[in-house]
Amino acid sequence: MQANYNTDAPKKPVNLTLNSDLLKLSKDMGLNLSSLAEEAIAQAVRTRLAEAWLHENAEAIQAYNSRIEAHGVFSDGLRSF
């Protein structure tokens, strides 16, 4: 899947506030917090962009679905299933 952002952009340090017990456990497990945070943020961005696209295109999607419901698709007479 293509990223919605420049994956080659330089890294930038940030400050986060995390639950101290969760932080200790993750460090004890050797988890890469920067990588995990970046993956989670990228997924959240993808989700929000998809939601925004659906919202912005809801009218067109509804119109298409209504047309298909009323008239079917072009291959209805060609399908054997």
List, for residues 13-22, the tens digit of each pLDDT value. Answer: 999 999 999 9
Mean model confidence pLDDT for the chain: 93
Q: Is residue 44 situated within a structural domain?
A: yes
Q: Is residue 81 situated within a structural domain?
A: no
Say yes or no to pLDDT of 38 above 70: yes
The CA-based angle 24-26-27, given to 5 degrees, is 65
Domain residue limits at 46: 1-75
Smallest CA-to-CA distance from 31 within 18, 20, 43, 22 is with: 22
Q: Is residue 31 situated within a structural domain?
A: yes
The CA-based angle 3-32-45, given to 5 degrees, is 30
Q: Is residue 80 situated within a structural domain?
A: no
Q: Is residue 24 situated within a structural domain?
A: yes
Number of folded domains in the chain? 1
- What would the mean pLDDT of 35-59 be, rounded to a whole number? 97
